């Protein structure tokens, strides 16, 4: 564990988070 592992996990999960935000955000706008 370390900074690189944390960055790697963030880069891995970021696309999924972006996808869900783009999928659900229009419902509340």
Domain positions in the chain:
1-29
DSSP 21: H
- 10 CB neighbour count, 10 Å cutoff: 10
Instruction: Give me the pLDDT at residue 25, please.
Output: 85
Supply the pTM of this predicted model. 0.46
- Mind listing the pLDDT tens digit for each residue in 3-15? 999 999 999 999 9
Residue 29 has pLDDT above 80, yes or no: no
Confidence of residue 27 (pLDDT cuts 50, 70, 90): confident
CA distance 18 to 24: 10
* Dihedral (Cα; 22, 20, 14, 10), 10-degree rounding: 150
Task: Give the residue-averaged pLDDT of 1-29.
Answer: 88
More confident residue, 26 or 16: 16
CA distance 17 to 2: 22
């Amino acid at each position: 564990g370390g900074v690189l592992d944390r960055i790697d996990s963030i880069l891995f999960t970021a696309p999924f988070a972006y996808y869900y935000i783009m999928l659900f955000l229009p419902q509340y706008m």
